Structure 1
Amino acid sequence: MDDPDLVDAVQRPGARGRSASQVVAFRRNAAQSGRCGKEAVYASTVFHTEDASAGLGALRQALDAPRALRDYGMPEDGIAKALGPIMKAIPANNPTPVTYANLTMLLQAAWAGDPVN
């Protein structure tokens, strides 16, 4: 990897206030918005994948990082407890409508470590 921000995020998670997924997400968003031309191929050049999502999967696999919220110690009943605070934090202009039903499905998949499409 030749990206010092990403290397630092992988080697010292949270040390500079950002995770590897945050660094990659920032790069992807910059590329998609046209703010940063060289970033348009970031995921494919660093992770040798076609997109950032696959790149994050490759990074997770290389690090043998936990895949599920339960692996981080979240109890299954934490899903219901998280719904209210998360719903309050979602901005009104969120591009995807968020409901209790679709947020519950997302959190259940994240808790189990299932891929979300």
Structure 2
Amino acid sequence: MVILGSCGTTKKTNNNTDSTSLNDELKDRNRANVSLLQRITQMRGVVLHNNLPVINKTANSFASAGNQEPLYVLNNQIIGNSFHSINEIIDNYNIKKITILTGADAASYGSQGSNGVIKIVSY
């Protein structure tokens, strides 16, 4: 809000520290209500196949047989190519960031990352 006075303009600031902390608290609460599977499938390029998250690289990528699960990396530690393993280890509330790696970015993980990599960073 700007108040015009006889000697010029004065800016009045409004500190909303209470509403900011309330918003952060609500975000924290909502983060715990969303499952890891839901958070991963909301990412671009990730689809569900046999109720497991799969990185959709091409239109016909589901035609090949075998394990299509991506590699899961938690805090720079390779967990493996099983969603169930990562789901048992991590608590939804502690997830800070999820990143999807494909192509050249996933190639640094070798053949394990051939189906893509899902990197999870936790608090």
The TM tier, using the shorter chain, reads under 0.3
TM-score by length of 1: 0.24
Mark the structure with the bigger radius of gyration: 2
Instruction: Identify the structure with bigger relative contact order (alpha carbons < 8 Å, sequence gap 6+).
Output: 2
TM-score by length of 2: 0.23
Q: Higher strand proportion, which one?
A: 2
